Amino acid sequence: MKKILYSIIALIIVVLAGFFGFWYWWQKNISPVNLADHKLIIVNIKKGMPPETIARTLKEKDLIKNETAFLLYLRYRGLAPKLQAGTYALTKSMSTPEIVKTVVEGKSLTFKITIPEGYNVVKIAKLLASFGYNEQKVLALAQNPPYNYPYLKEVPEKVQYKLEGYLFPATYEISYNDDEEEILGKMLKKFNSIVQTENLIVEAQKRGFTLHQLITLASLVELEAKMAAERPLISGVIYNRLQKGMLLELCPTVEYALGRHKLRLSAKDLKIDSPYNTYKYRGLPPGPIASPGLSSIKAALNPAKHDYLFYVARPDGYHAFAKTYQEHLQNVKKYLP
């Protein structure tokens, strides 16, 4: 009987020794590599990267002591499926639990990109290219967007860039791991939030427009008005000319058709055969020519009520407005060299 008791005690001791030995090993190997080393080490975790590869990457950068201990910690806490892709700034002073917490919470390194009001798709693509993104991929996504927003279905087939006007101008926080599709997706998400908060679809319908037509008109206001105070005035001129069936005759639409900005358009430029040429075709162009900001969208919804039909730019950035063509010619003579 005593032998059996001694055997059980011995077994318990062995099991406890093994357990505490394992616990000691595990705790030692999930502790920081070097508590005193706070130098940032950049780690890029890509989408779909398995935990084993993440562990290997961290070990190669000397951020964890042991790959097996790292994987056991993930399994013990059930956190492997929650690891997020991103670019992270980690240090050797961080323990395995701290590193895992950072990656699970997606505390990825970010930077900011500002899309100015009035930028079109081509300019946005070039701006993103300056940050290292693929310009042609951005243009391809703008032509054939994979995003599921119902108002994008309103965009006519003849419009080259289906996302033109819908990439909302704002400052965006971008993760180093975001690709072109995700960045444009953030801009569309911002635009969608504006649509919802400002009730733009209903407000556009009150004006007899679709959302697409509203954004098209707002893009004209954005590029024509240099001064914020004049946006409702210029919007009013566009409304007046539309109601009278007049050609809008807006230079930015011709520049959009040409694909470049010109200080002064020639007579030949004004005759370009494009549906965007408002010197040739009546009504709104088939789509936006730039991304309008919220103030231009609001001006498109709330045009100033007046009888002006013409305006010409003044040297100070404002415009001289006229009700008649004769008055307009006098302003042109006065303000244009």
- At residue 253 the predicted structure's pLDDT band, cuts being 50, 70 and 90, is very high
Instruction: Identify whether the C-beta of residue 109 lies closer than 8 Å to the C-beta of residue 175.
Output: yes
* Selection from 246, 221, 250, 251 nearest residue 236 by Cα: 221
Instruction: Identify whether the C-beta of residue 291 lies closer than 8 Å to the C-beta of residue 117.
Output: yes
Q: What is the pLDDT of residue 142?
A: 97
Q: What is the pLDDT of residue 28?
A: 85
Domain extents for the chain? Answer: 30-104, 111-197, 200-335
Q: Which two tokens stand for residue 120?
A: 């079109």
If you average pLDDT over residues 175-189, what whole number do you get? 92
User: What is the CATH T-level fold of the domain 30-104, as seen in this structure?
Assistant: Dna Ligase; domain 1 (3.30.1490)
Alpha-carbon gap, residue 285 to 253, rounded angstroms = 8
Higher pLDDT, 88 or 122: 122
- At residue 176 the predicted structure's pLDDT band, cuts being 50, 70 and 90, is confident
* Selection from 15, 94, 81, 25 nearest residue 54 by Cα: 81
Alpha-carbon gap, residue 59 to 90, rounded angstroms = 12
pLDDT, tens digit (0-9, with 9 covering 90-100), for 118-142 = 999 999 999 999 988 999 999 999 9
pLDDT, tens digit (0-9, with 9 covering 90-100), for 231-242 = 999 999 999 999
Question: Which residues lie closer than 8 Å to 138 by C-beta, 6 or more apart?
Answer: 121, 124, 125, 128, 129, 180, 184
- pTM for the model stands at 0.78
The torsion angles phi and psi of 35, rounded to 5 degrees, stand at -60, -25
**Measured between alpha carbons, how far apart are the two ends of the chain, in Å?**
116
If you average pLDDT over residues 299-322, what whole number do you get? 94
pLDDT, tens digit (0-9, with 9 covering 90-100), for 61-73 = 999 999 988 998 9
Q: List b or e across 288-314, with b for residues whose CB sees 16 or more CB atoms inside 10 angstroms.
A: bbbbbbebbbbbbbebbeeebbbbbbe
* DSSP-based three-state secondary structure for 124: helix
